[in-house]
Amino acid sequence: MYEFIVFIHVLSAILSIGPFFVLFPLLNRMHDKSGEVLHSQIEVFQASIRIVKHAGHVLVVSGVLLMWQGNWPWSTSWVVMTIVVMISSIVFLAKAFKPKIRQFQAGVIDSSTLIKRLNSSVWQYILLLLIMLWFMVVKPNLW
Ligand code: HEM
């Protein structure tokens, strides 16, 4: 059972990070587009964010199950560090994408500003996920 939960946990980690790499070529292609084409590309972007969000929920639930089933103490340093980074990235993810797309749809920012901002948000988010992945795989004993 424990191995199965680890499998689900790793699978959801893949689905939390993977879709972001598809977003770079998509953002590149958005540069010279407008109207219907740009609109459908933004929809693909939003769908990817949704997958990441759902996978993130499975990641947390399976992580909690692993703590319980594996008798890991909650004071384990690499778990605490992952949770700290995760809480900050949840706050970040809430502000990173949706409000920017809304601003564009409301005409507050133009498409090139939108693409630039989404691009930097995607990079920051990947960085946060890679930090968490490092803590999970290396399991450093910090205290
Ligand atoms: C609430 C948050 C989380 C908790 C409580 C949690 C808990 C755990 C635990 C207890 C293990 C150890 C399994 C074992 O080796 O027996 C583990 C493994 C793993 N976790 Fe998490 N996790 C969390 C979030 C994450 C996140 C955000 C990621 C990826 C970005 C992640 C990726 C992994 C991976 C890849 C492994 C397998 C590492 C290995 O076995 O060497 N976890 N997790």
Q: What is the arithmetic mean of pLDDT over 98-121?
A: 92
| Residue to mutate (ligand 1; options 8, 9, 74, 89; most atoms within 8 A of CB) | 9
Q: Give the pLDDT score at 120.
A: 92
Query: How far apart, in whole angstroms, are the C-alpha atoms of residue 23 and residue 118?
Result: 9
| Ligand 1 atom with least separation from CA of 2 | 16
Regarding pTM above 0.85, the answer is yes
Is the CB–ligand 1 distance for residue 137 below 6 Å?
Answer: yes
Helix orientation angle between 2-30 and 111-138, rounded to the nearest 10 degrees: 160
- pLDDT digits 0-9 by tens, 14-32: 999 999 888 999 999 998 8
| CA gap 72, 74 in Å, rounded | 6
CB 114 within 8 A of CB 103: yes
Q: How far apart are CA 28 and CA 22, in angstroms?
A: 11
pLDDT tens-digit series, residues 95-106: 888 899 999 999
Alpha carbon distance 62, 8 (integer Å): 7
Q: What is the pLDDT of residues 40-69, one digit of tens each?
A: 999 999 999 999 989 999 999 999 999 999
pLDDT at residue 76 above 90? Answer: yes
Pair 12, 65: CB distance under 8 Å: no
